[in-house]
């Protein structure tokens, strides 16, 4: 593929990504519509094009993208300027390496949406819909349990796949993230609400998952 083709694709793609995010922040679309839109965007971007646009070869030699803070912090990604990518998008674009056998602990989110692409390696992805939340528990139901290969993606919102748990199955496992926080600017936002997914069975596939702190999550899933 010529560099011009890459340039056109990424420029258009980042404009659509930003526009979709703005539509959500302006309440013009629902979170589910944002997830559907992200499905289309990820479906339409060729993995090789994306990897070249973010200079993935450089990323894998850049210690900034090493696993830090047990996956609670991803490192900002910049597109190569020659791609024509839109700058200053409302969407946070980040990535991290996850070492083989290591998990990003099961956690849910409040007032934020995100989408993840496996850039390389293989992840074991488990996702759960959140049916209820209170001071002590999530009520969740498994929505997806699969192995994510390079180029495959997942999204989460309050309404679908709110809780997720990733485990890196191979070496050189990298995850690319697009995230919007404070979807409702008047509501509290939380990125990492850890849960013990091995909770009480409430029937019909629903689990009463206890909310736990980071240290307890590390004991269980670290
Ligand atoms: Fe998350």
H or E element in which residue 218 lies: helix 214-221
Going from the Cα of 123 to the center of ligand 1, the distance in angstroms, rounded, reads 14
Rounded to two decimals, the pTM is 0.92
pLDDT of amino acid 3: 46
* Region class of 57: left (phi > 0), else alpha (psi between -120 and 50), else beta: alpha
Distance 192 CA to ligand 1 centre (A): 6
Task: Find the 218 Cα to ligand 1 centroid distance in Å.
Answer: 16
Number of domains in the chain: 1
Residue with tokens 């748990």: 165
CA of 135 to the centre of ligand 1 (A): 19
Give phi and psi for 187, each to the nearest 5. Answer: -115, 155
11: left (phi over 0), alpha (psi -120 to 50) or beta: alpha
Q: Pull the structure tokens for residue 11.
A: 């420029």
Place 71 in a pLDDT band, splitting at 50, 70 and 90.
confident
Cα–Cα distance measured from residue 77 to residue 79, given in angstroms and rounded to the nearest whole number = 7
Residue 82 Cα to ligand 1 midpoint, Å, equals: 31
Looking at residue 165, which CATH number applies to its domain?
2.60.120.10
Could you read off the pLDDT of 94-105 as tens digits, one per residue?
A: 999 999 999 999
Return d(Cα 47, Cα 106) in angstroms, integer. 27
Distances (CA, A) of 159 to 130, 132, 181, 184, 221: 7, 11, 15, 14, 25
Q: How far apart are CA 79 and CA 7, in angstroms?
A: 11
The angle formed by the CA atoms of residues 46, 152 and 194, to the nearest 5 degrees, is 135
> Which is more confidently placed, 72 or 19?
19
pLDDT digits 0-9 by tens, 139-166: 999 999 999 999 999 999 999 999 999 9
Residue 187 bridge partners (DSSP): none
Range of the domain at 172: 2-221
Query: What's the 23 CA to ligand 1 centre distance in angstroms?
Result: 21
List, in order, residues 6 or more apart from 47 with CB less than 8 Å away.
117, 119, 150, 151
What is the pLDDT at residue 30?
97
DSSP assignments along 6-18, one per residue: HHHHHHHHHHHHH
């Amino acid at each position: 593929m010529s560099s011009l083709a890459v340039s056109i694709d990424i420029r258009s793609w980042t404009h659509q990504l930003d526009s979709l995010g703005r539509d959500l922040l302006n309440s013009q679309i629902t979170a589910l519509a944002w997830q559907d839109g992200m499905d289309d965007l990820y479906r339409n971007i060729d993995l090789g094009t994306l990897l070249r646009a973010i200079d993935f070869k450089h990323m894998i030699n850049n210690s900034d993208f090493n696993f830090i803070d047990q996956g609670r912090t991803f490192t900002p990604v910049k597109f190569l300027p020659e791609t024509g990518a839109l700058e200053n998008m409302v969407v946070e674009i980040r990535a991290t390496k996850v070492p083989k056998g290591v998990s990003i602990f099961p956690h849910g989110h409040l007032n934020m949406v995100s989408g993840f692409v496996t850039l390389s390696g293989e992840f074991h992805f488990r996702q759960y819909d959140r049916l209820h939340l209170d001071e002590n528990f999530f009520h969740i139901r498994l929505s997806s349990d699969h192995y994510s290969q390079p180029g495959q993606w997942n999204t989460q919102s309050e309404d679908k796949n709110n809780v997720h748990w990733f485990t890196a199955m191979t070496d050189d496992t990298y995850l690319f993230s697009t995230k919007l926080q404070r979807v409702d600017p008047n509501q509290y936002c939380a990125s990492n609400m850890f849960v013990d997914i091995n909770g009480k069975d409430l029937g019909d596939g629903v689990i009463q998952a206890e909310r736990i702190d980071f240290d307890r999550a590390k004991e269980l899933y670290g």
